[in-house]
Structure 1
């Protein structure tokens, strides 16, 4: 038997793809290609993001000061911030109530009224008393003028007679009459002041017979 030639065996192995494969530098190129591809992709992504950032639009508006309206929705019982107890200060018969529970009212609105028949009669009576007292003042003034004139005459006669007539007692009586007349006038004036004060009270009571709302609000109770 003859040994096979090493050259022949090598050729057969090469043909069949057997034997140790020698390294070949040309097989490394896919790794470099992958690195370049990744770099190109990163650059493209950055460029795309840059284009998108430049395309963002912002809307602006000038700020201004104004009223802010806040609407609150809740369940529960509302408590008033201010509560007023409104009543009638004078005695009498209630004639009419113009509002009811939960009604909205405005300041100055009529809430209730009393029967003013008696109060109106008192006002008329007081006005008559004022007029009567003023007439009394006028009469007292006339009496003062009359007594002063009488006293002046007596003094003139006494001066002309040299003190003989009238008698001193007559002069004293005339002077006393003047003083009484002046006192009566002062009393009449005082009666006028009293009558006017009574009239003012009665007129005030009459005005209080009508109850007005002190503020805008809602009627809670009646």
Structure 2
């Protein structure tokens, strides 16, 4: 049986989710940082007032098989991280950033919310975002990702959020098809890292009808 958990995550559950990121998305910048820095990021999202996280796990053995996380306001989530996690961030991230390429990508990631806002100033802004979703390989095609996405939508709906954006790197066609299938619409693009653009998908959260 699969359970979907939205709060009170253990350190082991956070660690397992970080390992899934490394296993399933090895080409990403975050995966290149290693397990401890990633676990710090996951822990922050799980505990910050601006973070939203859902994990899928097997109820029989508490094995985490997938996760989704995001923010009600990505810019505020980053600021909250820098305020609350400064010393841990220096300890875990500094050894990993001893190359100009990684330093550049870290800076680009931090300034992404401001770039997106500037790029899309002519349209309604969605401060909430779905930042990452992954499911272990042997559970692909079983509807886990769809359930995680649905639970994420419910969490934002309960917080009064009306829409959220999904930044997705160009070239990840499978992810693009998934978000389109879930009802998200491509609304633009922004350059986060200079090698390729990031497409912005938008999902409108429908208000629940009463009666």
| TM value normalised by structure 2 | 0.17
Higher RCO structure (Cα 8 Å, ≥6 apart): 1
* Structure with greater proportional helix content: 1
The structure in which a higher percent of residues are strand is 2
Point out the structure with max Rg over C-alpha: 1
